[in-house]
Structure 1
């Protein structure tokens, strides 16, 4: 159950952590807490499922990764969890997840986003995923990024955060 302090921490961090060497300390000072309090409360909210994760949202373009492709794969449902974990652990995959098929038009159920500095880099990464999937690869496609979209974290409205 979230209390008022948890709600204030969520509101203070929803636009992202401050870009300082000690972001939890900056949030703590803003809210009149200690950095340990902020970290413990965030961890408790994560463990309870009130928040899903805390993570970086890199701008791949600014890092030189201009070629981005959402690879989509048709793999047998009985092995998707195991294969998805393996694909998600590849260093060049930024996110990987299971999505429902929409047959007959869309047979794909495993999605993995890859990033490269060249088309050749992305092609090699796609081949690595295909090699990893082996005979479980029943088909694939790639949806390439055509424009940069603004990435933001979770935002709440002006309404109070509720349980």
Structure 2
């Protein structure tokens, strides 16, 4: 993965986030003295090569009233993890879902799904829905609730 000077400039002006305007790519283009087409082309190429993993909104769940945020971790069969993960990821209350390696014997969990509830009962209901969906495929699980907000940042490069 290599980046050129235009890529570097785009990263520098967007590393704190895209501008919160109706046409963010146009705003970036104007700031850099480029056309919007050039900015979009470079950003698409950086996504294809993995320099940029994704472009997405990152909500602050606490400010939205979701105070009970839990990473659910599940021990499911490796042969079923992809299929089950897709089903869990499709649930409207799961913000992200992914597979991670087990670290036996202390950590048997290989399927992770983040839930967000305004109340503890909301979060527990969501965990119960996941448990019901997994049924006998779930050999065990835990919920790791957030205790503080960590600053989420993307790629950072200096000037």
Q: TM-score range by the shorter chain?
A: over 0.9
1:14-55 Cα deviation digits (max 9, x unpaired): 111111221111100011112222122211221222221111
Residues 65-100 of structure 1, C-alpha deviations (whole Å, 9 max, x = no match): 111111000000111111112211211111111111
**Structure 1 residue 139 and structure 2 residue 140: aligned?**
yes
Structure 1: tracts of 5 or more residues without a match: none
**Number of matched residues?**
158
The answer on 1:75 being equivalent to 2:76 is yes
Please give the secondary structure, in 2, of the residue aligned with 1:77: coil
Q: Aligned partners of 2:60 and 2:115: how far apart in 1?
A: 13
Following superposition of structure 1 onto structure 2, how do residues 33-52 of structure 1 map, counting pairs within 5 Å?
A: 33-52=34-53
Aligned CA RMSD, in angstroms, stands at 1.4
1:153 equivalent to 2:154? Answer: yes
SS in structure 2 of the partner of residue 142 of structure 1: strand
Tell me by how many angstroms 1:151 deviates: 2.1
Long gaps (5+) in structure 2:
none
1:113 maps to 114
Q: Give the TM-score normalised by the residue count of structure 1.
A: 0.90
Q: After the TM superposition, which parts of structure 1 deviate over 4 Å for at least 4 consecutive aligned residues?
A: none
